[in-house]
Amino acid sequence: MELLGLSAREIAAGVKAKKFTAEEAVRASIERIKRYDKKYNAIVALCEEEAVASAKRVDEAVARGEEPGALCGVPYVVKDNFCTKGIVTTCCSKMLKGWVPNYDATAVEKMKEAGAVLIGKANMDEFAMGSTTESSIFGATLNPRDRTRVPGGSSGGSAAAVAAGYVPVALGSDTGGSVRQPAAFCGVQGMKPSYGQISRYGIVAYASSLDQVGPLAANVGDLALLMDVLAKGDPNDTTCDAYERPSFTGAAAKASLAGKRVALLTGYDRGSLDAPLSAAIDRAVEICRAEGASIIDVKLPITMEHSVACYYMVALGDASSKLACYDGMRYGHHADGRNLSEMYKKSRMEGFGEEVRKRILVGTCILTRGYYENYFVPAMKVRQLISDEFKNLFEEADMLICPISPALAYKRGLGEKDPVRMYLGDVFTTIANLAGLPSVSLNLGFTAEGLPTNVQLLAPRFGDDGLLCCAAAIERAAGAPHIAELTEDD
């Protein structure tokens, strides 16, 4: 049976019905990775032996008539900042090269309990700091839709793995758009859940008040299935709220926009968007109207003017504090020095790449006396104003439509030539992290050249189920994205 292109739900159903085995599904994924990934570099650690052994255990459970879980036999990959017991976890940095955790992140545990099979660790920007997946010590990941372009970042390897058909689903982390922007660039569906919806335990932190685990898949139904598996309270993460979650798959199955109030973000220069992305927004609005939603134009002046600056103040200040533990003595890469100060300097200079060092330096500056009072404290106040602006918006609307990125997938190397453009490209994605909102990157088809187009959907905090319901309705009308056609040629 041809397994390529099957959704996670179809694979799980097939394994339960004994149409094929979990081992066959896992071996098919591994074979595709071995065949193509030398060209795309989405996977940095392939766990072939462990994956096959796990798949066999799933098949044995099915044979005994046991309930194997909602994701039984489904192969998946996780970003390399998720702790995986017995499997190397490096954050794609020399600082953690060769480190093997002795425990699983809660998200990995939940996937395992649901019967999913981990087949590898996905490439990423070093310590999740980037928008292109070009800063990894393992080399850059290429976009399966166009190898001259980046897959986005920092979860570029996870998005590329789904787009390439290696796996039907993957996990990433999203601090300022690191799931949604790669999903948009690679032409798959990606979600940043509400802050506190999924446990962050076992994820190497970038900025704890912004980070969130996010699923990537080829369709909204699989996003909802992963949310059902992952979104649960966790005593190991005090920010992961212990409330009774709704059925996300049930919400997606309703797939309705009837009677919904959909806000369309205005007040920014639509001409600054690449034309296909502007057209995608118009198409999404037309679909909403056709499905029975009412459209209202809204402006978010505080958010649009201050979100990028606010985000980088908060994120880099947090990051400089979080990464202070990697000093060459307690954690991470060690380099000898003539004294303690030189040892610290050499260890951190050698262990961290240029982008990470840059962000640590800026973040440390932000937290020093004077700069803290004049920059960090005001940024935290602006963050509250942004949250309040969204609270007021969602008293009048059920969902917001806006862009994800101003541009289609970037050409390779652009980050080095114009880093400021990379930072400003986060203007639409950081807003969800600052306000703790759920957000979906939804594919809206492809350009004539085969590049993905997309829109971003946002909803009130903990309105993840309603967001998936609306996203599924738009996807039903627009169509789910297809797997990329891969080549082995240079």
Q: Give tens-digit pLDDT for 20-32.
A: 999 999 999 999 9
Q: Residues with Cβ < 8 Å from 131, sequence gap 6 or more?
A: 125, 150, 152, 153, 154, 177, 181, 410, 415, 422, 425, 426
Coil, strand or helix: which one is 169? Answer: strand
Report the distance separating Cα 175 and Cα 72, nearest Å: 29
Report the distance separating Cα 179 and Cα 431, nearest Å: 14
Q: Residues with Cβ < 8 Å from 50, sequence gap 6 or more?
A: 86, 87, 118
Positions marked active-site: 79, 154, 178
pLDDT given for residue 419 in this prediction = 79
Using a pLDDT cut of 70, give the percent of the chain over it.
99
pLDDT digits (tens, 9 = 90+) for 255-291: 999 999 999 999 999 999 999 999 999 999 999 999 9
Report the distance separating Cα 21 and Cα 279, nearest Å: 43
pLDDT confidence tier of residue 1, bands split at 50, 70 and 90 = low
Q: Where are the domains of the chain?
A: 8-299+387-478
CB contact at 8 A, 441 and 430: no
CB contact at 8 A, 173 and 211: yes
Across the chain, which distance is largest between two alpha carbons, in Å?
A: 71
pLDDT confidence tier of residue 202, bands split at 50, 70 and 90 = very high
Query: CA-CA distances (angstroms) from residue 167 to 74, 332, 398?
Result: 8, 31, 32
* Arithmetic mean of pLDDT over the chain: 96
The listed CATH number (3.40.50.620, 3.90.1300.10, 1.10.1060.10, 3.30.565.10) that belongs to domain 8-299+387-478: 3.90.1300.10
Q: Residues with Cβ < 8 Å from 46, sequence gap 6 or more?
A: 30, 33, 34, 119, 120
Whether the upstream peptide bond of residue 131 has omega within 30° of 0, thus cis, is: no
Coil, strand or helix: which one is 209? Answer: coil
pLDDT digits (tens, 9 = 90+) for 206-236: 999 999 999 999 999 999 999 999 999 999 9
Q: Residues with Cβ < 8 Å from 103, sequence gap 6 or more?
A: 83, 85, 202
pLDDT digits (tens, 9 = 90+) for 78-105: 999 999 999 999 999 999 999 999 999 9
H helices present in 275-300, as ranges: 275-290
Residue 406 has pLDDT above 70, yes or no: yes
Q: Ramachandran region of residue 187, left (φ > 0), alpha (ψ -120 to 50) or beta? A: left
pTM of the model: 0.97
Query: CA-CA distances (angstroms) from residue 198 to 118, 216, 243, 387?
Result: 19, 14, 11, 20
Residue 463 has pLDDT above 80, yes or no: yes
